[in-house]
Structure 1
């Protein structure tokens, strides 16, 4: 039984948000203090998979706090214990990551002082992970919080605020343009080079792999324009029977090759988005999000269809958060 090894924290641990029907976001699970022996997270997950799946379905996010998970290897064991199939972070991903062990990668390696905007993982790819695990190996000094927000809430708020835009987005879809350099740019959250993105230094092979991902490459001096779409600006969450805000409208990355972030997202007919949409979307995301102050050994499980995530700038080093992706 779930209560034998895990207990759900409702008050006192952190200020969770209330979702529909009184469900908390995120749901927080801790070792049952009534058990004399130490509760191993891997064993607790194996024993309660169906219950945990139901919690994730209800809330979209489950935080495991207070368990002895101290290393990348421990975290890999936790991911394996879930029974979820591996989703390799490979061709097409925008963020720079390094494989650590097994199914574990570094989280986005963008400079710690930069903000990483809200996004669904690999939302621009035809296939994306369904679930994400994050693990705090080194607790941040100050800043570096991970923010999460329910995607259907953002869809509903944006439809209230910008009904005409949402209607046009649903009709036309969205086109994305990414500029990839010859070499990776460690100063950018989306700084993978085209060679790293497509895992080849052969332009013909890169074009073949891009085509399979629904991308078109236009070679320019020093790099390549990657054209993606048109793609829907939303997705329909079949499990929960609702529309979710599955797009990059609130992005706005600016780096050496992308000096005008507004050109990164357009309507499917290549007309520009209204000027105020992106800024309004970012404000709504901030207003509605839950901000997670990481503690060492925290493990966060997200439903990638239901929840957007972001990273606040790190003010005081160090910080080390690892990630794993599941089908």
Structure 2
């Protein structure tokens, strides 16, 4: 039987995330009302401070660290909890909240607080791009172009519709690329439009990589194969609408470690933040972190 979640924690909220500033005070009050003792609480305007604050909380022995923000905030901080005894909990306050959806955590504040107060410990995998941990999904193609250029105000005020509208705008500059998965005689090369490197099924708030699971011990690389932008748009729509044909638009590879190269070299977004360029090695770090998950 899983051990109960800690009753004390450090709360760290990225108030630059879409709902962080609005909900920080409410989150603190609701957590305390639910019986969580807050050792400290931090309202963070500069997201670059998030890793330092999490690292300090873990070093000082916090039983649980609660991070509020979007997927980028979570990805930037899991590195400092992985491999420790500290439980990682989250408040989904971003735009897509893909990692919360993967874990089955409600994306409303009351539901997320209820998980932290009455859920269970769950040991899960993290993905890795070279030596950098990530929580949910890394991508090649249009998403890095969007993540690197989307105006903060558009993302903050319009949420997913604004993000998708900017993505449609960026599509005009997009070009297909040559993709190689693997190395040596086992390598597979193809024309590609998008690549999703997944530890969980959700990307952009939509279930895109159904075969990915945070407790599978495998990384899943899903490629949208081809050269036509229309094929990529159809792949997106088929996934959004849950059409049976969605699986025919992609090709999947899985394993503990996969080498990924492109021609030309391309930027890669990791949980929504552009942090690497190809070639990279995608790996799974099996069972490396404990998270606060729903009781069921």
TM-score by length of 1: 0.26
TM-score by length of 2: 0.28
Structure holding more helix per residue: 2
Structure holding more strand per residue: 2
Give the greater-gyration-radius structure (CA). Answer: 1
* Larger relative contact order (Cα-Cα within 8 Å, sequence gap ≥ 6): 1
